[in-house]
């Protein structure tokens, strides 16, 4: 099978809409298809990665466990926009998984290198 | 060139489905090929045959079915998103114990792998959403 | 790269995100075409970015919203055939939803 570079671009906060959750399902399938998968988190997308989601009260599944599963699928390229973190008063220490924090411009350069960009 | 299209919103509420449709027509008019149109998130709602829009308004669902038939297009609805939102074909009806189907002509329900395959096999993939 | 924006700049900050992140071509469609109108708060931002980006706006969306007569200089108005060409001419496209 051809291997292409797929980047999933996540810009939306979790739980307020379903996009973040259903985007994750695409990531896992792309990895199962042995594609070169990376994830970019920009704007409110960075909130998806925040530690400590307690979702029992809103009766939906939390993200944290699934981030942990990504490594099992060999999905380790997670890029987070530094400016998006800073605007929201967050640092890499607030996040549930290891990520590479890059400037928006550097994430833009990575986007240019992809074969397929999926936004949700 | 081979194009694929991802439609992420349902009919009427967002302009995305209309834009995707107009884009698909323009792709074909230019002599390109459409490998697949994939419907995800609320985009699966483009595939229910039970809509009755006003007579003087465009019939978005029928429009997709007609485009598919006239151009031999592959319209694929994501099974997981369809299950969540109640888009059902015969197979899903039997599998999930439902008492009806509602899938419109020209559409088929399948897995997210079809979206990944579309990305792999196409030269261009365009996302239409909110 | 082709960046597609479909939301009004007064509603969503997608345009700001693109300007900070990318380069190449920006196509305004659907409610995104409001960014193309002269005289708005976005005008100087867009004019400032014209060195780095080529701007396009979809004609039918401008017409639908009654702003086809006030498109900023420097923005190229395209039809759906032009939209297809933009996608074909750029290796990838990102929809800033």
Q: Could C92 and A83 be called an inter-chain contact, meaning their C-beta atoms sit closer than 8 Å?
A: no
pLDDT classification of B52: cutoffs 50, 70, 90: very high
Q: Provide the phi-psi class of B97: left if phi over 0, else alpha when psi is between -120 and 50, else beta.
A: left
pLDDT digits (tens, 9 = 90+) for C7-64: 999 999 899 999 998 889 999 999 999 999 999 899 999 999 999 999 999 999 999 9
Q: A12, A27, A30, A61: best mutation site toward chain B, by most B Cβ within 10 Å? A: A30
Domain boundaries, chain C: 2-96
- For residue B57, name the pLDDT band (cuts at 50, 70, 90): very high
Per-residue confidence band for A67, with pLDDT thresholds at 50, 70 and 90: confident
State yes or no: pLDDT of A65 exceeds 90.
no
Chain B residues in contact with A4 by the CB 8 A cut-off are 119-120
Position A1 pLDDT exceeds 90? no
Which residues in chain A have their CB less than 8 angstroms from residue C3's CB? none
Comparing CA positions, the residue from A78, A76, A79, A85 lying closest to residue A44 is A85
Spell out the residues 6+ positions from residue A6 whose beta carbon is closer than 8 angstroms to its own. A30, A35, A36, A37, A38, A114, A115, A116, A118, B116, B119
3-state secondary structure of C13: coil
Active site residues of B: 78
The whole domain housing A74 covers 5-119
DSSP 8-state code for residue A17: S
Q: Residue B114 is part of which domain span?
A: 2-128
Q: For the complex shown, is ipTM > 0.90?
A: yes
The predicted model scores a pTM of: 0.97
Task: Using the CB atoms, write b or e for B37-75: b if 16+ within 10 Å.
Answer: bbbbbbbbbbbbeebeeeeeeeebbebbbebbeeeebbb
| Overall size of chain C counted in residues | 97
pLDDT given for residue A64 in this prediction: 82
Mean pLDDT of A4-10: 97
Average pLDDT over residues B71-95: 98
**In this predicted structure, what is the pLDDT of residue C22?**
81
Select the residue from B43, B78, B112 to test the A interface by mutation, using most A Cβ atoms within 10 A. B112
Helix runs in A33-103, H state only: 64-70, 82-87
CA quadruple C75, C80, C84, C85: dihedral positive or negative?
Answer: negative
Strands B75-78, C75-78: pairing kind: unpaired
Query: Which chains border A (3 or more CB–CB pairs < 8 Å)?
Result: B, C
Taking the CA of residue C68 and the nearest CA in chain B, the distance in Å comes to 18
- As a whole number, mean pLDDT of residues A16-32 equals 95
Given a cut of 90, whether residue B90 has pLDDT beyond it is: yes
Q: What is the pLDDT of residue B80?
A: 97
**pLDDT over threshold 90, residue A69:** no
Q: What are the distances in angstroms from CA B106 to CA A98, B2, B47, B88, C88?
A: 44, 20, 9, 14, 26
For C2-96, CATH gives: 3.40.1260.10
The number of folded domains in chain A is 1
Query: What pLDDT does residue A66 have?
Result: 87
Helix spans in chain C (H): 14-21, 43-49, 59-64, 80-89
Q: Which among A42, A114, A115 has CB closest to C21?
A: A42
When divided into structural domains, chain B yields a total of 1
CATH number at residue A78: 3.40.1260.10
Query: What CATH number does the domain containing B49 carry?
Result: 3.40.1260.10
Nearest to A20 by CA among A62, A55, A56: A62
Q: Give me the residue from B3, B124, B129 closest to C97, CB to CB.
A: B129
Phi, psi of B40 (to 5 degrees): -135, 170
Q: Name the average pLDDT for chain B.
A: 98
Which residue in chain A is spatially nearest to C15 when comparing CA positions?
A: A43
């Amino acid at each position: 099978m051809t291997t292409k570079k797929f980047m999933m671009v996540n810009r939306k906060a979790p739980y307020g809409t379903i996009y973040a959750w259903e985007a994750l399902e695409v990531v896992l399938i792309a990895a199962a298809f042995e594609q070169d998968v990376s994830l970019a988190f920009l704007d409110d997308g960075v909130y998806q990665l925040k530690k400590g989601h307690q979702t029992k009260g809103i009766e939906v599944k939390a993200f944290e466990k699934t981030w942990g599963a990504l490594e099992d699928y060999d999905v380790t390229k997670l890029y987070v926009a530094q400016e998006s973190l800073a605007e929201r008063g967050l640092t890499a220490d607030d996040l549930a998984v290891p990520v590479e924090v890059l400037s928006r411009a550097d994430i833009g350069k990575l986007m240019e290198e992809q074969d397929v960009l999926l936004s949700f | 060139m081979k194009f694929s299209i991802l439609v992420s919103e349902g009919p009427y509420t967002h302009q995305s489905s209309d834009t995707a449709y107009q884009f698909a027509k323009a792709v074909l008019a230019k002599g390109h090929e459409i490998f697949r149109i994939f419907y995800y998130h609320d985009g699966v709602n483009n595939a229910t045959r039970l809509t009755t829009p006003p007579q003087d308004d465009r019939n978005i669902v029928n429009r997709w079915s007609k485009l598919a038939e006239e151009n031999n297009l592959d319209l694929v609805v994501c099974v997981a998103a369809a299950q969540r939102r109640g888009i059902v074909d015969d197979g899903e009806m039997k599998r999930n114990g439902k008492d009806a189907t509602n899938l419109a002509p020209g559409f088929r329900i399948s897995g997210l792998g079809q979206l990944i395959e579309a990305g792999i096999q196409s030269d261009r993939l365009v996302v239409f959403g909110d | 790269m082709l960046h597609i924006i479909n939301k009004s700049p007064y509603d969503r900050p997608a345009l700001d995100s693109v300007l900070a992140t990318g380069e190449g071509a920006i196509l305004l469609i659907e409610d995104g075409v409001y960014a193309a109108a002269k005289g708005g708060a976005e005008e100087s931002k867009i004019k400032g970015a014209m060195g780095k980006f080529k701007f396009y706006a979809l004609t039918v969306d401008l017409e639908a919203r009654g702003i086809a007569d006030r498109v900023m200089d420097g923005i190229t108005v395209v039809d759906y055939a032009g939209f297809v060409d933009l996608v074909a001419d750029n290796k990838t496209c990102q929809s800033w939803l």
